[in-house]
Amino acid sequence: MRDARARCSWTDEAHACANEQLKTTPFDPRFPQTNQAKHCYTRYNEFHKCQAENGEGAEACEPLAKFYRSICPTEWTEKWNEEREEGTWAGRY
């Protein structure tokens, strides 16, 4: 197993991840299958719902952001963020 310094050496802010503990989203019984696409979509929406209810940058929403970022492909979230900015996002939040 590689140590944390080796894992962090490729980042611009390697010192910032020295104390960071990497985790993925916890098990959710709503999504027991291997395909996690719906799980990703739900976590993304839960994060944006939290922001809509608590304000952008709310500390309570940070765990939700980590959950969707750990499970969703970056290409998907970038596309969804663009759709939200353009007003073409099909979701509620």
Write out pLDDT tens, residues 40-80.
999 999 999 999 999 998 999 999 999 999 999 999 999 99
pLDDT of residue 78: 95
pLDDT of residue 44: 95
Higher per-residue pLDDT: 22 or 13? 22
Give the chain's mean pLDDT: 79
Measuring CA to CA, which residue among 81, 82, 80 is closest to residue 37?
80
Query: What pTM was estimated for this model as a whole?
Result: 0.65
pLDDT of residue 22: 64
**Is 32-93 a CATH 1.10.10.140 domain?**
yes
pLDDT of residue 46: 94
Q: What is the 3-state secondary structure (H, E, C) of 39-82?
A: HHHHHHHHHHHHHHHHCCCCHHHHHHHHHHHHHCCHHHHHHHHH
Structural domain boundaries in the chain? 32-93
Judged against a pLDDT cut of 50, whether residue 90 lies above it is answered with yes
Give the pLDDT band (50/70/90) at residue 5.
Answer: very low
Distance of CA 39 to the CA centre of its chain: 11
